[in-house]
Chain A
Amino acid sequence: MKLVIQNLTKTYKNGVKAIDNLSIEIGTGMFGLLGPNGAGKSSLMRTIATLQSPDSGLITFGDINVLEDNMSLRKVLGYLPQSFGVYPKMSAEDLLDYFATLKGISNKSERQAIVKEVLEITNLYDVRRKHVAGYSGGMKQRFGIAQLLLNNPKLIIVDEPTAGLDPAERHRFLNVLREVGTNCTVIFSTHIVEDVKELCNEMAILNGGKILKHTTPQEATKELEGKIWKKVINRDDLEENEAQFNILSSNYNQDNTLNIRVHSDVKPSDDFVSVTPQLDDVYFIALKQDEPVLI
């Protein structure tokens, strides 16, 4: 099923245009939504998840008109917000049973079966009797996945799920997500480029409420092949280089020198070497091109 968003606009009371006439089509598979903090990712995802209504625009998922018939969407929706709390003094098992009830599973034994399954999928089975409020960050995120799975969703929306997770947890999380997302549409927002690279078959870069680029990770890097150049410079030469070249990113080496990466169709100067493009470069280029041009 395809998620289609057309001309979606949302302006907040304080004048911030969180979503700016946004249109996109998202098909089955993992879809990564990349963007800096405050780009409008959460607003977009909340809007798709029926928690917020836009000022104008249209969203459909398959033949569900999301904005008109949000109940139908909720039936096939799995949503994991950016941050969430849980009822205190309730175990994972009880809470999942609660959510399973909310999601319309009427039969008690079926509820127990699916709760057991999602606990096992998320490797929470051993701690199922512990209060969720006392879980560590990673466990809580996994709990988030567990509750999301309960209605066997067709559309999964996860909002920055890997922020703050340790590497092992992050991997585990992404694996589970990947496994879940084989047959449905997963929209996955992050500001960590790595996540997208590892996981997504499609991606978009969002900033200022607009889609800057809609592509796939492979294509995006392929496009840049032969156009990314690297040089090692002294810290003091940075300003000079910035004025000269289109620097995408710069980072320190241990000897206090800097690596700079530059986007250019031709070799900018002799001391540059060509490097393999990375997804980061795609991201930075997209953001840079969107910057208002000062005259």
Chain B
Amino acid sequence: MFSTIFKQELKYWFKRPAFYIYLGIFIFLAFFFSATSAGIWDSITVTTGSSRIVNSPIGVNNLFSGLTTFIFFLFPSIIGVSIYRDYKSEMHTILYSYPFTKANYLFAKFLSSLTIVTIIVLAISFGMFIGFRFPGTNSDIVGAFIIISYLKAYLVFILPNVLLFGAIVFAVVTFSRNIAAGFITVIVLLFVQGVVASVLSEPDQRGLLAILDPFGGGAVQYYTKYWTMSEQNEMQIPIKEMIIYNRLLWTGIAVLIFGLVFKFFTFSQNAISFSFRKKSGERLTKSNLSGITKINLPKVTYDYSFLQNLKTTWRISNVDFKYIFKSWPFISIVLVGVILIIVGLFTVGNIFGTETLPVTYKMLNGGGVFVISINICTFLYAGMLVQRAKIARANHLVDATPVPNWVLLVSKLIALLKMQLVLLAVIMISGIIFQTYKGYYDFEIGHYLYELYVLDFLNYLVWALLAIYIQTLIGNPYLGLFALLIIAIGMPLLSFVGIEQSIFKYNEGPGYRYSDMNGYGFSIGPYLWYKVYWILLGIVLLIKAGLLWVRGIPFSFKERLSIASSRCKGLSVIGLTVFFLSFLALGYTIYTKNNPKGERLSSKEREKLRVEWEKKYKKYEKYLQPRIVSVKTDVAIYPKERTYTASGNFVMVNKTNTPIDSIFLNHNSLESTFEFSKPNKLILEDTIHNFDIYQFENKIMPGDTLELSVTLESDKNTMFRQNSPIKENGTFINSGMFPSLGYSSQGELRDNKTRKKYDLPPNDLQPHPSDSTALGNTYISKDSDWIDFEATVSTSKDQIAIAPGYLQKEWTEGDRRYFHYKMDSKILNFYAFNSARYEVKKEMWNGISLEIYYHKPHTYNLDRMMKGLKASLAYNAENFSPYQHRQARILEFPRTDGTFAQSFANTIPFSEGFGFIADVDDTNDDGVDYPFAVTAHEVAHQWWAHQVIGADVLGATMLSESLSEYVALKVLEHQHGKEKMRTFLKEALDGYLQQRTFETKREKPLMYNDGQGYIRYEKGSLVLYALSDYIGEEKLNGALKRYVEKVAFQEPPYTTSIEMVDFIREVTPDSLQYVIKDMFETITLYKNRVKEVTSTELENGKYQVDIEFEVSKYKNDEKGKKFYGDKVGDTLTYKNDKMNKPILSVKLQDYIDIGIFTEEEVDGKKKEIPLYLKKHKITSIYNKVSIIVDKKPTEVGVDPYNKLIDTNSEDNRRKL
């Protein structure tokens, strides 16, 4: 019997076109994604330059598993229906009386549908296999075909997942006899996975996540999260404990679920239904069996007018809306969505463990997770509504009524929109509840309503229009949903095939961005125009849906088309034409505004321009240019008009020993004039690269001075496009608007493989610090050293405008307010202009004027910032050198410009999203007071960048960013105590280890770094903090002080990381010289762990703690390949009987912290108290120590504070 049913099922599927459609879709998707990742579109889009092997074991696993997730959406209609089909066709009434066993029936049904799914899964692997190898892919990033990668992905991850989800869907649909239920289950499960992943996002919860992630992705992450590029390219995913436990757990659950189905399934006629209200039984009898009734229908008026039809549309949309609102798939999606929102809100804006105040825009951001819910509801219920009459078999009743098609169609649309409005309210309510819970009562209801019901709603409306169209066209709600999901997910991916501009991608377009300071600012205009554009197309689709609307008995598609063309007359034609033409016209307008004079380029064209730039002008790189020594600017900011004009007077001196005949002016595309004080000839004007060459009649002799006057004008904004950076409130622009001298290597292509494609030589980008000829420029500017600076900035009357320097004069003229600033000492050629309606907080401190310019409501953290200013100024002045200015200013700018802070001379623009709305909890040891820490970092830049600036060679950013980060850490430590450092260091460690895995080019040691953020910030702070622990803060700062003395404000040649490290080396004892080598000169990682620990109470009441632990370290080359020493004999090995593989290590002469801790209650909170913390000299991998402590220990650790870079910091401690 089993084989009969099994074969019958397969036969059924093999005959169905749907099966081949699914196969086709998945082969195509697999092919598309794999071929795209392998760079098949390189000829039309940007070159995929990377050292990542796309079909590495981990790459195959990710893509294969990811694509399989899409199949889950088909489960309800493949696995779910296998039994449901018998109910639907009412075959079950006959079938279930036949003599076969439950086991035969269930297994045959389940296994046959799994077979169908398996065939589709195999199709995916086939598509991937072809995709990676397809002619035209970039063979540099495709490795050899390794069948084991596919097998592992399939057997270990995909098969158990298919079993699990299959069993769940099978159970749900079998018992509920409702495909929608199965569908919702899949969505809910995917959501739950998302919730689990976001709740367990902290590094120390990864173990739990590894077990609980039903997909097994968390378990893979557990082992591979810190894999370097070379490891990702070469290593197979290890099938170790966590992965095995995870797979066993979920396979077990799958078996359990199927077991339950088996237990409870009966061959019965009725579905199991749940009802919360038990209805009391009622005996039904018939009465009034005879009787002739006189029919006398009341007189009513029938109204078939257009107006009445409109009313009807509205009224019947209510009926449909009620249907959605009461259906439990909707309710469950909303419930899960709300949980997701609330969970999300708890983590939104968390920086360094510190929360952000629940301001409205944060709540709206957090509501973003609900987008998926709204879209899925829209896609699904569009189908449910369009097909509602048909599903209920009431279509003949409805279709025979005198109601026009458009009324039915539009009523469905309106019901769908009402549903969206309700869902949007869910976001608002969740946000307000969360704000109330947090005690934040500044509810901006208007802001909620505007964003949700105007801005977001338009976006959902566009989707609703498409959904109605597709669902009408396809006629099967689940197939329609699947198609819509593919469309929605696929649209943004069109960029990969070279379709980059939003006007070609349905419902794409610029987003809006909000800041407290500037509201939605300029972003609103383009956003709305694009929405109008898409709504026009949506209406065209809606009219088409009306033409294709099925009225009467189902038609073949051909018949529908001929009916549609016969319906296409009168108003429909006019509507179609008008809306389609408006759509095209608006599209054309947007296109031309976006591409004025063909200026907007595809990324491919931009790539080619970069090549051309380098080929044409690189030869002038070494051409000597005068240096700018003084800048005087006049900048007029017009916040209302959102434009600016600027002029500048640049004084240049020929500091070289040779006469200079030409100046290379590298400028931007703004409307500008350039005028030199000496006679010259413009011999080259390149309007594409904006690069001009002026040849002087008389050479500029050594020591000679030359002036350049520049005027420029910002582009004007159009309705469709923002061209000027000026904001209505909160402008932040910088010196980049002015021209620079000479060739700039900024625009050069970085990836050597891509460069080779264009016949460019390999590029080292930056010279090595040992190259003494490369030290002529700082990494900030190539055309100047230190300059005199003066600026007049004007803005509207109600705003304050700021530039570096001291305010000389302030005056008002008409409705303009002017500020004249002048700097009294030399600064770098690097300055900015800010303007906003600022409130000011001022304080005099040790002769320094501390000022914070802030947005009025943002007063929350001003005191912390003030404290940060003082603490950092004090620390730097004390330890390194005096502060060069008499003033330090923080200027708030809108978060739409970014979440960062930046240090200019005596001026620190600081994002509103980065500290101003932090909600620091001083009692929480895990949260960092980051308004304080960030301020300290930026102030430190006044020394580390604005006094000591590195030459433009490798490692230069260590001198500015790493040292500023180090100072911030130290200032924080002195202010808040050592305990607060742990979160900071842990995040830095995790951040470094994670981000380096995305390195597709090369990772260099700290002192030779290419400028990657994760090296200069995360690694830099870890290394310098550890170093201060090893050699002592005083010694380290002493060395730095001498270094500052030598190099502060120096003229070229500029200092390098080598010089700084030499100063440190001098004060480092011989026994610790290895630290400098490990931390600065090489990439060194530890693998330390506690193996075994016992504690015994001694007779004298003390405790003896015996610790067995392992210490090993290894090095990485720039591709992330491990090695254990430079030559043979440098490597230690350790292996005992229980181990399969030996542990390897670079030779050890290392000092490592060994700590023993106890817990004590302080103020009702458990605090960790160190009983013992000392550095032990370690020379072998395996170690055993015995330590006696006074109190009962609770935890021991090797490098317990994670000062060293350790790829698994979790096993450094062991609880007793």
CA distance A101 to B301 in the complex (A): 12
As a 0/1 sequence over residues 46 to 78 of chain A, the CB contacts with chain B under 8 angstroms (1 = contact) are 100111110000000000000000010011010
Interface segment, one of A173-181, A192-200, A214-222 = A173-181
Known: A101-B312, A114-B298, A171-B290. A50 touches B552 (CB 8 A): yes
Q: Is B1127 an interface residue (CB 8 A)?
A: no
A105 contacts B301, CB within 8 Å? Answer: yes
| Smallest CB gap from B323: residue in A | A87
A106 contacts B308, CB within 8 Å? Answer: yes
| Min CB–CB distance A113 → chain B (angstroms) | 5
As a 0/1 sequence over residues 70 to 114 of chain A, the CB contacts with chain B under 8 angstroms (1 = contact) are 010011010101011111111000100011011111110011011
Q: Is A120 an interface residue (CB 8 A)?
A: yes
B297 contacts A114, CB within 8 Å? Answer: yes
As a 0/1 sequence over residues 146 to 158 of chain A, the CB contacts with chain B under 8 angstroms (1 = contact) are 0101011000000
* B403 surroundings in chain A (CB, below 8 A): 74, 102-104
| Min CB–CB distance B291 → chain A (angstroms) | 8
B392 contacts A105, CB within 8 Å? Answer: no
Max chain B Cβ within 10 angstroms of own Cβ: one of A77, A83, A87: A87
| Min CB–CB distance A12 → chain B (angstroms) | 10
* A106 surroundings in chain B (CB, below 8 A): 301, 303, 308, 311-312
Q: Is B619 an interface residue (CB 8 A)?
A: no
Q: Is A123 an interface residue (CB 8 A)?
A: yes
B402 contacts A75, CB within 8 Å? Answer: yes
* A168 surroundings in chain B (CB, below 8 A): 286, 289-290
As a 0/1 sequence over residues 14 to 34 of chain A, the CB contacts with chain B under 8 angstroms (1 = contact) are 000000000000000000000
Q: Is A4 an interface residue (CB 8 A)?
A: no
* A86 surroundings in chain B (CB, below 8 A): 392, 394, 397
CA distance A101 to B398 in the complex (A): 11
Q: Is B1035 an interface residue (CB 8 A)?
A: no
| Min CB–CB distance A5 → chain B (angstroms) | 17
Q: Is A117 an interface residue (CB 8 A)?
A: yes
As a 0/1 sequence over residues 388 to 399 of chain B, the CB contacts with chain A under 8 angstroms (1 = contact) are 100011101111
Q: Is B433 an interface residue (CB 8 A)?
A: no
B402 contacts A107, CB within 8 Å? Answer: no
* A121 surroundings in chain B (CB, below 8 A): 293, 295
* A71 surroundings in chain B (CB, below 8 A): 304, 402, 404
* A89 surroundings in chain B (CB, below 8 A): 323, 326
| Smallest CB gap from A90: residue in B | B319
A52 contacts B326, CB within 8 Å? Answer: no
CA distance A74 to B297 in the complex (A): 19
| Min CB–CB distance B404 → chain A (angstroms) | 7
CA distance A94 to B142 in the complex (A): 64
Q: Within residues 263 to 315 of chain B, which ones have a CB less than 8 A from any CB in chain A?
A: 286, 288-298, 300-304, 308, 311-312, 315
B319 contacts A51, CB within 8 Å? Answer: no
Q: Is B551 an interface residue (CB 8 A)?
A: yes
Q: Is A172 an interface residue (CB 8 A)?
A: yes
| Smallest CB gap from A147: residue in B | B397
Q: Is B556 an interface residue (CB 8 A)?
A: yes
* B296 surroundings in chain A (CB, below 8 A): 117
CA distance A129 to B537 in the complex (A): 43
| Smallest CB gap from A149: residue in B | B297
* B556 surroundings in chain A (CB, below 8 A): 13
CA distance A98 to B322 in the complex (A): 13
A51 contacts B552, CB within 8 Å? Answer: yes
Q: Is B1071 an interface residue (CB 8 A)?
A: no
Which residue in A79, A90, A98, A179 is a CB contact (below 8 Å) of B294? Answer: A179
Known: A103-B302, A114-B300, A168-B286. A98 touches B396 (CB 8 A): no
CA distance A50 to B292 in the complex (A): 32
* A81 surroundings in chain B (CB, below 8 A): 396-397
Which residue in A84, A87, A110, A179 is a CB contact (below 8 Å) of B295? Answer: A179
Which residue in A74, A114, A171 is a CB contact (below 8 Å) of B402? Answer: A74
Known: A99-B397, A102-B401, A121-B295. A52 touches B552 (CB 8 A): yes
A51 contacts B396, CB within 8 Å? Answer: yes
CA distance A263 to B144 in the complex (A): 88
* B316 surroundings in chain A (CB, below 8 A): 98, 101-102
A152 contacts B312, CB within 8 Å? Answer: no
* B302 surroundings in chain A (CB, below 8 A): 75, 103-105, 151-152
CA distance A51 to B304 in the complex (A): 20
A49 contacts B304, CB within 8 Å? Answer: no
| Smallest CB gap from A87: residue in B | B392
Max chain A Cβ within 10 angstroms of own Cβ: one of B297, B401, B552: B401
Which residue in A13, A46, A94 is a CB contact (below 8 Å) of B553? Answer: A46
* B563 surroundings in chain A (CB, below 8 A): 53
B400 contacts A110, CB within 8 Å? Answer: no
CA distance A152 to B300 in the complex (A): 9
| Min CB–CB distance A174 → chain B (angstroms) | 11
CA distance A81 to B394 in the complex (A): 10
| Min CB–CB distance A85 → chain B (angstroms) | 3
B300 contacts A107, CB within 8 Å? Answer: yes
A84 contacts B308, CB within 8 Å? Answer: no
Which residue in B294, B297, B399 is a CB contact (below 8 Å) of A51? Answer: B399
Known: A87-B394, A103-B402. A110 touches B297 (CB 8 A): no
Q: Within residues 121 to 135 of chain A, which ones have a CB less than 8 A from any CB in chain B?
A: 121, 123
A51 contacts B300, CB within 8 Å? Answer: no
* A180 surroundings in chain B (CB, below 8 A): 295
* A98 surroundings in chain B (CB, below 8 A): 316, 319
B289 contacts A110, CB within 8 Å? Answer: no
| Smallest CB gap from A181: residue in B | B295
CA distance A180 to B286 in the complex (A): 23
* A175 surroundings in chain B (CB, below 8 A): 292-293
CA distance A171 to B291 in the complex (A): 10
CA distance A107 to B300 in the complex (A): 8
CA distance A183 to B553 in the complex (A): 29
| Min CB–CB distance B1148 → chain A (angstroms) | 74
A110 contacts B298, CB within 8 Å? Answer: yes
As a 0/1 sequence over residues 176 to 191 of chain A, the CB contacts with chain B under 8 angstroms (1 = contact) are 1001100000000000
| Min CB–CB distance B589 → chain A (angstroms) | 39
CA distance A110 to B300 in the complex (A): 6
Known: A81-B396, A84-B394, A105-B300. A99 touches B401 (CB 8 A): yes
CA distance A98 to B398 in the complex (A): 10
B300 contacts A111, CB within 8 Å? Answer: yes
A179 contacts B553, CB within 8 Å? Answer: no
* A147 surroundings in chain B (CB, below 8 A): 397
B401 contacts A74, CB within 8 Å? Answer: yes
* A53 surroundings in chain B (CB, below 8 A): 552, 563
Known: A104-B308, A179-B294. A84 touches B396 (CB 8 A): yes
B298 contacts A113, CB within 8 Å? Answer: yes
CA distance A105 to B388 in the complex (A): 23
As a 0/1 sequence over residues 367 to 401 of chain B, the CB contacts with chain A under 8 angstroms (1 = contact) are 00000000000000000000010001110111111
| Min CB–CB distance B182 → chain A (angstroms) | 18
| Min CB–CB distance A78 → chain B (angstroms) | 8
A152 contacts B297, CB within 8 Å? Answer: yes
Known: A120-B293, A172-B289. A51 touches B393 (CB 8 A): no
B312 contacts A102, CB within 8 Å? Answer: yes
21 contacts between A and B (CB under 8 A): A50-B399, A50-B400, A71-B304, A79-B400, A84-B393, A84-B397, A85-B393, A86-B397, A87-B319, A103-B403, A104-B302, A104-B304, A104-B312, A104-B403, A144-B397, A149-B295, A151-B402, A171-B290, A175-B293, A176-B295, A180-B295
Instruction: Beyond the given A85-B393, A104-B303, A121-B293, please list 17 additional residue pairs across the A-B interface where CB-CB is below 8 A.
Output: A13-B556, A46-B552, A51-B396, A51-B400, A51-B551, A51-B553, A74-B401, A79-B396, A81-B397, A99-B398, A102-B316, A104-B312, A120-B293, A123-B288, A175-B293, A176-B295, A179-B294
Measuring CB to CB, which residues of chain A are less than 8 angstroms from any residue of chain B? 13, 46, 49-53, 71, 74-75, 77, 79, 81, 83-90, 94, 98-99, 101-107, 110-111, 113-114, 117-118, 120-121, 123, 144, 147, 149, 151-152, 168, 171-172, 175-176, 179-180
Chain A to chain B: the 7 pairs with minimum beta-carbon distance, closest first: A85-B393, A51-B552, A74-B402, A79-B400, A110-B300, A81-B396, A102-B401
